Chain A
Protein backbone atom coordinates (compact mmCIF):
# COMPACT_ATOMS: atom_id res chain seq x y z
CA UNK A 1 0.00 0.00 0.00
CA UNK A 2 1.38 3.37 -1.01
CA UNK A 3 1.98 6.26 1.34
CA UNK A 4 -0.81 8.30 -0.30
CA UNK A 5 -3.48 5.64 -0.02
CA UNK A 6 -2.86 5.32 3.69
CA UNK A 7 -3.69 8.97 4.13
CA UNK A 8 -7.15 8.77 2.56
CA UNK A 9 -9.69 9.63 5.22
CA UNK A 10 -12.97 7.73 5.22
CA UNK A 11 -14.27 9.61 8.22
CA UNK A 12 -13.98 13.28 9.00
CA UNK A 13 -14.14 14.51 12.53
CA UNK A 14 -16.86 16.63 14.11
CA UNK A 15 -16.56 20.28 13.18
CA UNK A 16 -18.23 23.58 13.91
CA UNK A 17 -20.46 23.47 10.82
CA UNK A 18 -21.94 20.21 12.12
CA UNK A 19 -23.19 22.05 15.14
CA UNK A 20 -25.04 24.41 12.84
CA UNK A 21 -26.43 21.40 11.00
CA UNK A 22 -27.74 19.99 14.29
CA UNK A 23 -29.17 23.35 15.25
CA UNK A 24 -31.12 23.45 12.00
CA UNK A 25 -32.35 19.94 12.66
CA UNK A 26 -33.44 21.06 16.13
CA UNK A 27 -35.34 23.82 14.40
CA UNK A 28 -37.14 21.18 12.34
CA UNK A 29 -37.97 19.18 15.45
CA UNK A 30 -39.30 22.36 17.02
CA UNK A 31 -41.32 23.24 13.93
CA UNK A 32 -43.05 19.88 13.55
CA UNK A 33 -43.67 19.63 17.31
CA UNK A 34 -45.08 23.13 17.69
CA UNK A 35 -47.48 22.58 14.79
CA UNK A 36 -48.53 19.16 16.07
CA UNK A 37 -48.93 20.27 19.69
CA UNK A 38 -50.84 23.47 18.94
CA UNK A 39 -53.23 22.16 16.31
CA UNK A 40 -53.47 18.80 18.06
CA UNK A 41 -54.37 20.48 21.35
CA UNK A 42 -57.13 22.58 19.81
CA UNK A 43 -58.51 19.58 17.94
CA UNK A 44 -58.10 17.37 21.00
CA UNK A 45 -59.98 19.85 23.18
CA UNK A 46 -62.88 19.77 20.71
CA UNK A 47 -62.77 15.97 20.68
CA UNK A 48 -62.60 15.91 24.48
CA UNK A 49 -65.66 18.13 24.68
CA UNK A 50 -67.49 15.87 22.21
CA UNK A 51 -66.56 12.82 24.30
CA UNK A 52 -68.03 14.47 27.38
CA UNK A 53 -71.41 15.44 25.91
CA UNK A 54 -72.83 12.30 24.41
CA UNK A 55 -72.49 8.60 25.06
CA UNK A 56 -72.90 7.84 21.38
CA UNK A 57 -70.07 10.18 20.43
CA UNK A 58 -67.97 8.90 23.30
CA UNK A 59 -68.33 5.41 21.89
CA UNK A 60 -67.80 6.13 18.18
CA UNK A 61 -65.24 8.94 18.32
CA UNK A 62 -63.65 7.32 21.36
CA UNK A 63 -63.01 4.11 19.42
CA UNK A 64 -61.35 6.00 16.57
CA UNK A 65 -59.16 7.95 18.97
CA UNK A 66 -58.25 4.71 20.73
CA UNK A 67 -56.73 3.50 17.47
CA UNK A 68 -54.44 6.53 17.35
CA UNK A 69 -53.56 6.07 20.99
CA UNK A 70 -52.80 2.37 20.84
CA UNK A 71 -51.15 1.74 17.45
CA UNK A 72 -47.42 2.52 17.76
CA UNK A 73 -46.64 5.91 16.28
CA UNK A 74 -43.91 4.54 14.03
CA UNK A 75 -46.42 2.19 12.39
CA UNK A 76 -48.94 5.00 11.93
CA UNK A 77 -46.26 7.11 10.27
CA UNK A 78 -45.16 4.41 7.86
CA UNK A 79 -48.72 3.38 6.98
CA UNK A 80 -49.86 6.94 6.37
CA UNK A 81 -46.77 7.95 4.42
CA UNK A 82 -46.98 4.95 2.13
CA UNK A 83 -50.76 4.91 1.78
CA UNK A 84 -51.23 8.32 0.20
CA UNK A 85 -49.07 7.78 -2.90
CA UNK A 86 -51.22 4.70 -3.59
CA UNK A 87 -54.34 6.84 -3.88
CA UNK A 88 -52.49 9.45 -5.92
CA UNK A 89 -51.54 11.99 -3.26
CA UNK A 90 -47.82 11.75 -2.68
CA UNK A 91 -46.94 13.51 0.57
CA UNK A 92 -43.48 14.64 1.53
CA UNK A 93 -42.12 13.34 4.83
CA UNK A 94 -42.86 16.59 6.62
CA UNK A 95 -46.51 16.70 5.53
CA UNK A 96 -47.12 13.07 6.39
CA UNK A 97 -45.31 13.44 9.71
CA UNK A 98 -47.23 16.56 10.68
CA UNK A 99 -50.63 15.05 9.88
CA UNK A 100 -49.96 11.87 11.84
CA UNK A 101 -48.49 13.76 14.79
CA UNK A 102 -51.49 16.11 14.88
CA UNK A 103 -53.95 13.22 15.10
CA UNK A 104 -51.78 11.38 17.57
CA UNK A 105 -51.58 14.49 19.77
CA UNK A 106 -55.30 15.19 19.46
CA UNK A 107 -56.14 11.64 20.52
CA UNK A 108 -54.02 12.03 23.66
CA UNK A 109 -55.26 15.55 24.41
CA UNK A 110 -58.89 14.45 23.93
CA UNK A 111 -58.67 12.21 26.99
CA UNK A 112 -56.96 14.96 28.98
CA UNK A 113 -59.62 17.48 27.95
CA UNK A 114 -62.47 15.11 28.79
CA UNK A 115 -60.88 14.64 32.20
CA UNK A 116 -60.69 18.40 32.60
CA UNK A 117 -64.34 18.90 31.79
CA UNK A 118 -65.36 16.13 34.14
CA UNK A 119 -63.20 17.65 36.87
CA UNK A 120 -65.55 20.65 37.03
CA UNK A 121 -68.14 19.86 39.70
CA UNK A 122 -71.69 19.55 38.46
CA UNK A 123 -72.89 21.90 41.18
CA UNK A 124 -70.53 24.64 39.94
CA UNK A 125 -72.01 24.28 36.47
CA UNK A 126 -75.55 24.46 37.82
CA UNK A 127 -74.63 27.58 39.78
CA UNK A 128 -73.30 29.17 36.58
CA UNK A 129 -76.49 28.38 34.72
CA UNK A 130 -78.59 29.70 37.60
CA UNK A 131 -76.89 33.08 37.05
CA UNK A 132 -78.37 33.19 33.56
CA UNK A 133 -75.26 32.10 31.67
CA UNK A 134 -75.87 30.27 28.42
CA UNK A 135 -74.29 26.87 27.85
CA UNK A 136 -71.45 28.41 25.86
CA UNK A 137 -70.83 31.16 28.39
CA UNK A 138 -70.68 28.52 31.09
CA UNK A 139 -68.18 26.53 28.97
CA UNK A 140 -66.04 29.54 28.18
CA UNK A 141 -65.97 31.37 31.50
CA UNK A 142 -66.23 28.52 34.00
CA UNK A 143 -65.67 25.01 32.63
CA UNK A 144 -62.73 25.81 30.36
CA UNK A 145 -60.64 27.82 32.85
CA UNK A 146 -61.40 25.58 35.83
CA UNK A 147 -60.86 22.40 33.79
CA UNK A 148 -57.63 23.68 32.23
CA UNK A 149 -56.16 24.33 35.65
CA UNK A 150 -57.08 20.83 36.72
CA UNK A 151 -55.36 19.04 33.85
CA UNK A 152 -52.47 21.34 32.98
CA UNK A 153 -49.83 18.89 34.30
CA UNK A 154 -51.31 16.06 32.21
CA UNK A 155 -51.33 18.29 29.15
CA UNK A 156 -47.68 19.19 29.74
CA UNK A 157 -46.93 15.47 29.89
CA UNK A 158 -48.58 14.96 26.51
CA UNK A 159 -46.76 17.94 24.97
CA UNK A 160 -43.36 16.76 26.22
CA UNK A 161 -44.12 13.25 24.98
CA UNK A 162 -45.03 14.49 21.50
CA UNK A 163 -41.88 16.60 21.32
CA UNK A 164 -39.78 13.52 21.96
CA UNK A 165 -41.93 11.20 19.84
CA UNK A 166 -41.44 13.55 16.90
CA UNK A 167 -38.05 11.82 16.57
CA UNK A 168 -39.92 8.94 14.96
CA UNK A 169 -40.72 11.09 11.93
CA UNK A 170 -37.06 10.47 11.04
CA UNK A 171 -38.09 7.07 9.65
CA UNK A 172 -39.79 8.94 6.80
CA UNK A 173 -36.61 10.81 6.01
CA UNK A 174 -37.50 14.14 7.57
CA UNK A 175 -34.23 15.58 8.83
CA UNK A 176 -34.93 16.45 12.42
CA UNK A 177 -32.63 15.98 15.38
CA UNK A 178 -32.48 12.21 15.46
CA UNK A 179 -32.06 11.82 11.71
CA UNK A 180 -29.38 14.50 11.63
CA UNK A 181 -27.50 12.82 14.43
CA UNK A 182 -27.55 9.47 12.60
CA UNK A 183 -26.15 11.12 9.48
CA UNK A 184 -23.38 12.78 11.47
CA UNK A 185 -22.52 9.63 13.41
CA UNK A 186 -22.12 7.72 10.17
CA UNK A 187 -19.70 10.34 8.93
CA UNK A 188 -17.69 11.06 12.04
CA UNK A 189 -17.95 7.81 13.97
CA UNK A 190 -18.29 9.89 17.10
CA UNK A 191 -21.61 8.79 18.53
CA UNK A 192 -20.89 9.83 22.08
CA UNK A 193 -20.30 13.52 21.50
CA UNK A 194 -23.07 13.82 18.90
CA UNK A 195 -25.73 12.08 20.97
CA UNK A 196 -24.72 14.22 23.94
CA UNK A 197 -25.25 17.34 21.85
CA UNK A 198 -28.59 16.04 20.52
CA UNK A 199 -29.68 15.25 24.06
CA UNK A 200 -28.80 18.78 25.07
CA UNK A 201 -30.91 20.12 22.21
CA UNK A 202 -33.91 18.01 23.25
CA UNK A 203 -33.47 19.24 26.79
CA UNK A 204 -33.33 22.84 25.59
CA UNK A 205 -36.59 22.31 23.69
CA UNK A 206 -38.41 20.52 26.53
CA UNK A 207 -37.28 22.64 29.42
CA UNK A 208 -39.31 25.74 28.52
CA UNK A 209 -42.53 23.69 28.27
CA UNK A 210 -41.90 22.12 31.65
CA UNK A 211 -40.90 25.44 33.18
CA UNK A 212 -43.80 27.47 31.83
CA UNK A 213 -46.46 24.92 32.80
CA UNK A 214 -44.81 24.62 36.22
CA UNK A 215 -45.08 28.36 36.69
CA UNK A 216 -48.66 28.50 35.50
CA UNK A 217 -49.52 25.66 37.81
CA UNK A 218 -48.06 27.55 40.76
CA UNK A 219 -49.73 30.79 39.80
CA UNK A 220 -53.08 29.04 39.35
CA UNK A 221 -52.95 27.24 42.64
CA UNK A 222 -56.13 28.01 44.47
CA UNK A 223 -54.62 28.27 47.90
Chain B
Protein backbone atom coordinates (compact mmCIF):
# COMPACT_ATOMS: atom_id res chain seq x y z
CA UNK B 1 0.00 0.00 0.00
CA UNK B 2 1.13 3.54 -0.77
CA UNK B 3 0.11 6.01 1.89
CA UNK B 4 0.62 9.79 1.99
CA UNK B 5 -0.08 11.68 5.20
CA UNK B 6 -0.23 15.48 5.23
CA UNK B 7 2.61 15.82 2.72
CA UNK B 8 4.03 19.30 2.18
CA UNK B 9 6.53 19.98 -0.58
CA UNK B 10 8.15 23.29 -1.48
CA UNK B 11 10.39 24.37 -4.30
CA UNK B 12 11.99 27.37 -2.65
CA UNK B 13 9.13 29.67 -1.67
CA UNK B 14 6.64 27.94 -3.90
CA UNK B 15 4.56 25.36 -2.11
CA UNK B 16 3.64 22.61 -4.59
CA UNK B 17 2.00 20.10 -2.29
CA UNK B 18 -0.16 21.34 0.55
CA UNK B 19 -0.97 18.64 3.07
CA UNK B 20 -1.74 15.86 0.60
CA UNK B 21 -3.44 12.75 2.04
CA UNK B 22 -3.80 9.70 -0.16
CA UNK B 23 -4.02 5.92 0.07
CA UNK B 24 -3.56 3.55 -2.82
CA UNK B 25 -4.32 -0.11 -2.14
CA UNK B 26 -2.55 -3.06 -3.66
CA UNK B 27 -4.06 -3.86 -7.06
CA UNK B 28 -5.68 -0.48 -7.46
CA UNK B 29 -5.30 1.83 -10.45
CA UNK B 30 -5.48 5.50 -9.55
CA UNK B 31 -5.40 8.22 -12.18
CA UNK B 32 -4.38 11.71 -11.21
CA UNK B 33 -5.64 14.59 -13.30
CA UNK B 34 -5.38 18.36 -12.99
CA UNK B 35 -3.86 21.41 -14.62
CA UNK B 36 -0.14 21.66 -15.29
CA UNK B 37 1.73 22.86 -12.22
CA UNK B 38 -0.91 21.58 -9.83
CA UNK B 39 1.64 19.28 -8.14
CA UNK B 40 0.62 15.89 -9.47
CA UNK B 41 3.97 15.00 -11.07
CA UNK B 42 5.86 16.24 -8.03
CA UNK B 43 3.81 13.91 -5.87
CA UNK B 44 5.04 10.92 -7.89
CA UNK B 45 8.68 11.97 -7.46
CA UNK B 46 8.12 12.25 -3.74
CA UNK B 47 6.69 8.73 -3.54
CA UNK B 48 9.93 7.08 -4.71
CA UNK B 49 12.12 9.63 -2.96
CA UNK B 50 13.47 11.40 -6.04
CA UNK B 51 12.27 14.57 -4.33
CA UNK B 52 12.46 15.31 -0.62
CA UNK B 53 9.40 16.52 1.26
CA UNK B 54 9.23 19.28 3.86
CA UNK B 55 6.72 17.69 6.22
CA UNK B 56 4.30 14.80 6.48
CA UNK B 57 5.04 11.16 5.78
CA UNK B 58 4.95 8.78 2.84
CA UNK B 59 4.82 5.03 3.47
CA UNK B 60 5.26 2.34 0.86
CA UNK B 61 4.46 -1.13 2.17
CA UNK B 62 4.93 0.32 5.65
CA UNK B 63 8.37 1.74 4.91
CA UNK B 64 8.74 5.43 5.66
CA UNK B 65 10.21 6.73 2.37
CA UNK B 66 11.71 9.91 3.78
CA UNK B 67 13.13 8.51 7.02
CA UNK B 68 16.92 8.99 7.08
CA UNK B 69 17.42 5.27 7.74
CA UNK B 70 15.52 4.20 4.62
CA UNK B 71 17.64 2.70 1.84
CA UNK B 72 16.05 4.47 -1.12
CA UNK B 73 17.96 2.44 -3.71
CA UNK B 74 16.45 -0.71 -2.26
CA UNK B 75 12.97 0.78 -1.96
CA UNK B 76 13.01 1.97 -5.58
CA UNK B 77 13.38 -1.62 -6.79
CA UNK B 78 9.75 -2.10 -5.79
CA UNK B 79 8.50 1.12 -7.37
CA UNK B 80 8.78 1.37 -11.13
CA UNK B 81 8.55 4.81 -12.67
CA UNK B 82 8.04 5.96 -16.24
CA UNK B 83 8.50 9.58 -17.22
CA UNK B 84 7.18 12.01 -19.78
CA UNK B 85 10.53 11.95 -21.59
CA UNK B 86 11.10 8.28 -22.32
CA UNK B 87 14.75 8.45 -21.20
CA UNK B 88 16.07 5.43 -23.08
CA UNK B 89 19.76 4.74 -22.52
CA UNK B 90 20.96 5.84 -25.98
CA UNK B 91 24.22 3.89 -25.83
CA UNK B 92 22.57 0.53 -25.17
CA UNK B 93 20.50 -1.74 -27.38
CA UNK B 94 16.83 -2.23 -26.54
CA UNK B 95 17.67 -5.54 -24.87
CA UNK B 96 20.54 -4.05 -22.86
CA UNK B 97 18.36 -1.10 -21.83
CA UNK B 98 16.04 -3.49 -20.05
CA UNK B 99 18.62 -6.04 -18.85
CA UNK B 100 20.99 -3.48 -17.28
CA UNK B 101 19.32 -2.86 -13.94
CA UNK B 102 18.25 -6.46 -13.24
CA UNK B 103 21.91 -7.31 -13.70
CA UNK B 104 23.63 -4.51 -11.78
CA UNK B 105 20.93 -3.71 -9.21
CA UNK B 106 19.39 -7.12 -8.57
CA UNK B 107 22.59 -9.04 -9.23
CA UNK B 108 21.11 -11.39 -11.81
CA UNK B 109 23.44 -13.21 -14.16
CA UNK B 110 23.75 -11.96 -17.72
CA UNK B 111 21.58 -14.83 -18.98
CA UNK B 112 18.90 -14.38 -16.33
CA UNK B 113 18.78 -10.65 -16.96
CA UNK B 114 18.44 -11.18 -20.69
CA UNK B 115 15.67 -13.69 -20.14
CA UNK B 116 13.74 -11.25 -17.95
CA UNK B 117 14.33 -8.45 -20.43
CA UNK B 118 13.16 -10.52 -23.37
CA UNK B 119 10.02 -11.56 -21.52
CA UNK B 120 9.08 -7.96 -20.68
CA UNK B 121 9.93 -6.67 -24.16
CA UNK B 122 7.72 -9.32 -25.74
CA UNK B 123 5.02 -8.39 -23.24
CA UNK B 124 4.98 -4.74 -24.38
CA UNK B 125 5.18 -5.78 -28.03
CA UNK B 126 8.83 -5.04 -28.74
CA UNK B 127 9.92 -8.65 -29.16
CA UNK B 128 11.17 -7.94 -32.67
CA UNK B 129 13.32 -4.95 -31.62
CA UNK B 130 15.72 -6.59 -29.17
CA UNK B 131 18.91 -5.63 -30.99
CA UNK B 132 17.74 -2.25 -32.26
CA UNK B 133 19.04 0.97 -30.71
CA UNK B 134 16.38 3.15 -29.10
CA UNK B 135 17.09 6.24 -31.21
CA UNK B 136 15.88 4.28 -34.21
CA UNK B 137 12.48 3.79 -32.65
CA UNK B 138 9.42 6.01 -32.47
CA UNK B 139 8.50 7.83 -29.29
CA UNK B 140 5.72 5.35 -28.61
CA UNK B 141 8.09 2.42 -28.94
CA UNK B 142 10.65 4.11 -26.71
CA UNK B 143 7.97 4.75 -24.13
CA UNK B 144 6.98 1.08 -24.20
CA UNK B 145 10.68 0.29 -23.82
CA UNK B 146 10.74 2.48 -20.72
CA UNK B 147 7.77 0.54 -19.35
CA UNK B 148 9.46 -2.81 -20.04
CA UNK B 149 12.62 -1.50 -18.39
CA UNK B 150 10.71 -0.63 -15.24
CA UNK B 151 8.79 -3.93 -15.28
CA UNK B 152 12.01 -5.95 -15.53
CA UNK B 153 12.72 -4.97 -11.93
CA UNK B 154 9.51 -6.81 -11.03
CA UNK B 155 8.12 -3.88 -9.05
CA UNK B 156 5.06 -3.98 -6.82
CA UNK B 157 3.98 -0.51 -7.94
CA UNK B 158 4.22 1.50 -11.12
CA UNK B 159 4.18 5.29 -11.28
CA UNK B 160 3.40 6.90 -14.63
CA UNK B 161 4.23 10.57 -15.04
CA UNK B 162 2.36 11.95 -18.06
CA UNK B 163 3.76 9.18 -20.20
CA UNK B 164 1.81 10.18 -23.29
CA UNK B 165 2.23 13.96 -23.11
CA UNK B 166 5.37 14.12 -25.25
CA UNK B 167 4.08 11.72 -27.89
CA UNK B 168 2.68 12.45 -31.32
CA UNK B 169 -1.10 11.93 -31.17
CA UNK B 170 -1.01 8.79 -33.33
CA UNK B 171 1.41 7.12 -30.91
CA UNK B 172 -0.60 7.74 -27.75
CA UNK B 173 -2.83 4.73 -28.32
CA UNK B 174 -0.12 2.06 -28.26
CA UNK B 175 1.22 3.33 -24.94
CA UNK B 176 -2.23 3.51 -23.37
CA UNK B 177 -2.86 -0.04 -24.60
CA UNK B 178 0.27 -1.12 -22.75
CA UNK B 179 -1.08 0.48 -19.57
CA UNK B 180 -4.36 -1.39 -20.07
CA UNK B 181 -2.33 -4.57 -20.35
CA UNK B 182 -0.68 -3.86 -17.00
CA UNK B 183 -4.06 -3.22 -15.46
CA UNK B 184 -5.16 -6.69 -16.62
CA UNK B 185 -2.00 -8.09 -15.01
CA UNK B 186 -3.22 -6.62 -11.74
CA UNK B 187 -0.42 -4.09 -11.37
CA UNK B 188 -0.88 -1.35 -8.78
CA UNK B 189 -0.53 1.93 -10.63
CA UNK B 190 -0.66 5.66 -10.10
CA UNK B 191 -1.12 7.30 -13.47
CA UNK B 192 -0.68 11.05 -13.81
CA UNK B 193 -2.37 11.85 -17.10
CA UNK B 194 -4.17 14.32 -19.30
CA UNK B 195 -6.06 11.52 -21.04
CA UNK B 196 -9.43 11.98 -19.38
CA UNK B 197 -11.24 9.14 -21.11
CA UNK B 198 -8.39 6.78 -20.31
CA UNK B 199 -8.62 7.83 -16.67
CA UNK B 200 -12.36 7.17 -16.69
CA UNK B 201 -12.25 3.81 -18.45
CA UNK B 202 -9.15 2.22 -17.00
CA UNK B 203 -8.78 3.45 -13.42
CA UNK B 204 -10.61 2.42 -10.30
CA UNK B 205 -10.41 5.88 -8.82
CA UNK B 206 -9.50 9.32 -10.11
CA UNK B 207 -7.98 12.15 -8.07
CA UNK B 208 -8.26 15.74 -9.22
CA UNK B 209 -5.38 17.97 -8.19
CA UNK B 210 -5.82 21.69 -7.84
CA UNK B 211 -3.07 24.03 -6.64
CA UNK B 212 -1.27 21.46 -4.54
CA UNK B 213 -4.25 19.78 -2.92
CA UNK B 214 -6.45 16.85 -3.88
CA UNK B 215 -9.59 18.80 -4.58
CA UNK B 216 -11.69 15.75 -5.29
CA UNK B 217 -11.17 12.02 -5.36
CA UNK B 218 -13.61 9.24 -6.11
CA UNK B 219 -14.66 6.34 -8.29
CA UNK B 220 -13.48 6.96 -11.85
CA UNK B 221 -16.83 6.99 -13.66
CA UNK B 222 -18.49 9.05 -11.00
CA UNK B 223 -15.78 11.71 -10.72
CA UNK B 224 -15.41 12.22 -14.46
CA UNK B 225 -19.09 12.03 -15.36
CA UNK B 226 -20.48 13.79 -12.34
CA UNK B 227 -17.87 15.93 -10.57
CA UNK B 228 -19.05 17.50 -7.33
CA UNK B 229 -16.56 20.34 -6.82
CA UNK B 230 -16.62 23.54 -8.78
CA UNK B 231 -12.92 23.44 -9.80
CA UNK B 232 -13.30 19.86 -11.01
CA UNK B 233 -16.31 20.78 -13.12
CA UNK B 234 -14.42 23.74 -14.56
CA UNK B 235 -11.33 21.69 -15.35
CA UNK B 236 -13.26 18.88 -16.98
CA UNK B 237 -15.37 21.20 -19.07
CA UNK B 238 -12.19 22.96 -20.25
CA UNK B 239 -10.38 19.82 -21.35
CA UNK B 240 -13.32 18.29 -23.10
Contact = CB atoms under 8 A, between A and B. Distances in A.
Interface residues of B, number: 28
B83 A133 contact: no
A132 B81 contact: no
A123 B83 contact: yes
Contact of B89 (A132, A146, A220): A146
Interface residue tally on A, bucketed by range: 20 to 34
Interface in A11-41: none
B87 A124 contact: yes
A130 B85 CA distance: 14
Contact of B146 (A127, A137, A141, A220): A127
Interface string B57-86: 000000000000000011011011101010
A197 interface: no
Contacts of A133: 73, 101, 104-105
Interface string A116-130: 000001011011011
B105 A130 contact: no
Given A129-B76, A131-B105, A132-B77, A145 B91 contact: yes
Contacts of A142: 89
Given A141-B100, A146-B89, A132 B74 contact: yes
A146 B73 contact: no
Given A130-B81, A132-B77, A222 B90 contact: yes
B150 A131 contact: yes
Contacts of B136: 223
Contacts of B114: none
Given A134-B73, A223-B135, A129 B50 contact: yes
B9 interface: no
A69 interface: no
Contacts of B100: 131, 141
A3 B163 CA distance: 97
9 contacts: A121-B87, A126-B45, A126-B50, A126-B83, A127-B81, A131-B100, A132-B73, A132-B77, A141-B100
Interface of B: 45, 48, 50, 73-74, 76-77, 79-81, 83, 85, 87, 89-91, 100-101, 104-106, 133, 135-136, 146, 149-150, 153
